[in-house]
Amino acid sequence: MELNEVTKRLPKHLLQFVVDQPYNEYTPVDQAVWRYVMRQNYHHLQKVAHESYVEGLKLAGVEIENIPTMYGMNRILQRIGWAAVAVDGFIPPGAFMEFTKYNVLVIAADIRTLEHIEYTPAPDIIHESAGHAPIIAVPEFAAYLKDIGEAGSKAFSSVKDVELYEAIRHLSIIKEDPHTKQAEINEAELAIERIQSNMGPPSEMALIRNLHWWTVEYGLIGTLDKFKLYGAGLLSSIGEGMSCLNEKVKKLPYTLEAMHCNYDITKPQPQLFVTPDFAHLTTVLSEFKKLMAWTTGWLDGIKKAIASEQIGTIVYSSGLQVTGTVAKVIEADGVPIFIQTMGPAALSVNDVQLNKYGKEYFPSGFSSPVGKLTTSPMPLEDMIGEVLRRNGIEINKQALLNFEHDIVVEGIVRQILRSRAGKIILIEFEHATIQHRGNVILVAPSYIMAVGQHIVSAFAGPADVEAFQPTAFVPHEKMHKIHYDEKVLKLHDLYRIVRKTRQDTHLIPRLPSLWKIVVHDFPDDWLLSLEILEILERSGDYQRSAHEIREYLETKRAKKPHLHNLITNGLTLLHVEKEQPAVNE
């Protein structure tokens, strides 16, 4: 991937999700699907979408006639401080939000099949580029997108969240593959139901994921009876972009309660939430952040870190940040008094790793007490000079530190490390022993003790991402590459000829006979007939053939109920375009 000024800031673990956009693998049918959806959406959404939508398409480098390239989008997006990268389908929600924290839009490289042209069960380039990209031109929304991205990157997930994500990703992949048998889809749906029935209390990630869904993905803006569309799912789905206007889809005011409303990524939404303006999104998010361990810390934050079973960071009141997989906490009277991590750990301040105290120094974990000494009302992190000596803490001398709740640390003090703010953050001991209520819990020839009266924050991921270099959870199951037989490849050739005819009008005389081939060899196809009809009606010289094709499509929509809306919308747009110039944005 060619990096620009925005994507250069991405940490290495996120780059593992980035793939090359397979632009040359898009078939002529894919291009026709893009064109159909974009023309329909452009016609419909300029009346019902947020007023920034039309101009936003241009600002994001999204055309109506052609599937966009990442290079083209980035060339234009960088003007507003954003960028785009291609990924393989539905990536973990935490990773998705972390990308937006760095002002990077994640674009699924694949495009929906013709069978799912109205609503795709998997993220695709239509949803991501034509849905997400246009609204980021609105400064307030772009700020919210970045803000929820940062909050999402700090939110703790649960083990069940990961299991559910993998199951949903699997379902979205096989549903989008036209060769998948219904029995396999049924089995995948049952697997999701089993997981969802045993999720337990929702994690922070589950809750903020819901807020993200009902705003960034499926948000409405305005009032309950007069609103506009701004969510990417609505701006990229022909079906839901229209059906969401129906009274059968409930419209609810957007509040923090939306975090308790779950969703199904593979089905249309039964209700939607309306925000009065984009500033309100930030207000609700601020309310949510007050509930996060990132903001609250204390024992609850540590327990969330333990439950996640993933790399996290806990922050002492001294400013010291301990990164690792938190495995154990000893508590007393509702407060943490001793914390232990397992696996590689690292120490940081202000998100910058402390010199030698990285994963290599702590390959097997880190542990330390939390709290005040019983010998002084002053927090240990604030002690200086004589106060330290009065509490028995002197370099190269034996120390006996009695913490509240019966934690005792004994050893020879070798070093006292302060932060730039003057707080004591670490004390290094030689021949150290730690006891709790008389029971030895640690003996070490050399021991680093964290200093801090309490835990002020706990969040997912490392404090210093670049130094710690966490391993990204990159899904093993990839989006299915659809293989085409000779007959389908012949259909692709026909689509290619029709596409080429838009640039070369000398090919128009071939279209009536080509359409006969479509009808004879590909009776299930409808989109190519519509494309041929569009060209012939515009040319004005083949009205008899055009009339025949129109009658064919009208008959097909009557016999095929699942195609009724698609064909009707296509024919309606042709009629509208006769009254106004063709769309060539």
Who wins on pLDDT, 370 or 107?
370
Q: Are residues 12 and 107 in the same domain?
A: yes
Tens of pLDDT, residues 386-442: 999 999 999 999 999 999 999 999 999 999 999 999 999 999 999 999 999 989 999
Q: Are residues 124 and 154 in the same domain?
A: yes
Instruction: Read off the CATH number of the domain in which 24 is found.
Output: 1.10.800.10
**359 domain residue, yes or no:** yes
Q: Are residues 421 and 558 in the same domain?
A: no
Q: Are residues 157 and 272 in the same domain?
A: yes
Q: Are residues 503 and 439 in the same domain?
A: no
Tens of pLDDT, residues 157-209: 988 888 888 898 898 888 888 888 999 999 998 998 899 888 888 999 999 99
- What pLDDT, on the 0 to 100 scale, is given for residue 77? 86
| pLDDT band (50, 70, 90) for residue 580 | low
Q: Is 549 helix (H, G, I), strand (E, B) or coil?
A: helix
**383 domain residue, yes or no:** yes
**477 domain residue, yes or no:** no
Largest Cα span, the chain = 103
**328 domain residue, yes or no:** yes
The CA distance from 260 to 210, in Å, is 7
Q: Are residues 15 and 114 in the same domain?
A: yes
Instruction: Read off the CATH number of the domain in which 369 is found.
Output: 2.30.30.100
Number of domains in the chain: 3
Please work out, in degrees rounded to the nearest 5, the angle formed at the alpha carbon of residue 233 by the alpha carbons of 228 and 236: 90
Q: Are residues 269 and 412 in the same domain?
A: no
Q: Are residues 429 and 565 in the same domain?
A: no
DSSP string, 396-441: TSEEEEEETTTEEEEEEEEEEEE-TTS-EEEEEEEEEEEEETTEEE
Cβ–Cβ under 8 Å, residues 45 and 53: yes
**270 domain residue, yes or no:** yes
Cβ–Cβ under 8 Å, residues 134 and 56: yes
Of the residues 225, 257, 286, which one is the last residue of a structural domain? 286
Tens of pLDDT, residues 46-102: 889 999 988 888 888 888 999 999 888 888 888 888 998 999 888 888 888 999 999
| pLDDT band (50, 70, 90) for residue 381 | very high
| pLDDT band (50, 70, 90) for residue 585 | very low
Q: Is 323 helix (H, G, I), strand (E, B) or coil?
A: strand
Tens of pLDDT, residues 455-491: 999 999 999 998 998 776 777 788 878 888 899 999 9
The CA distance from 492 to 552, in Å, is 21
**267 domain residue, yes or no:** yes
Q: Are residues 24 and 64 in the same domain?
A: yes
Q: Are residues 66 and 172 in the same domain?
A: yes
Cβ–Cβ under 8 Å, residues 332 and 469: no
Q: Is the pLDDT of residue 360 over 60?
A: yes
Tens of pLDDT, residues 500-511: 999 999 999 999
The CA distance from 393 to 384, in Å, is 10
Question: 493: burial class by Cβ within 10 Å (0-12, 13-18, 19+)?
Answer: exposed
**292 domain residue, yes or no:** no
Of the residues 254, 286, 318, which one is the last residue of a structural domain? 286
DSSP string, 202-261: PPHHHHHHHHHIIIIITEEEE-SSSEEE--HHHHH-HHHHHHTTSTTSEEEE--GGGGG-
Of the residues 228, 260, 286, which one is the last residue of a structural domain? 286
Lowest mean pLDDT segment, chosen from 2-16, 220-234, 302-316 = 2-16
Q: Are residues 272 and 314 in the same domain?
A: no
Q: Are residues 269 and 389 in the same domain?
A: no
Helix and strand numbers (H, E) in the chain are 22, 17
Tens of pLDDT, residues 338-347: 999 999 999 9
What is the average pLDDT value for the chain, to the nearest integer?
91
**481 domain residue, yes or no:** no
- What pLDDT, on the 0 to 100 scale, is given for residue 334? 93
| pLDDT band (50, 70, 90) for residue 583 | very low
Q: Is the pLDDT of residue 266 over 70?
A: no
Domain that holds residue 570: 486-578
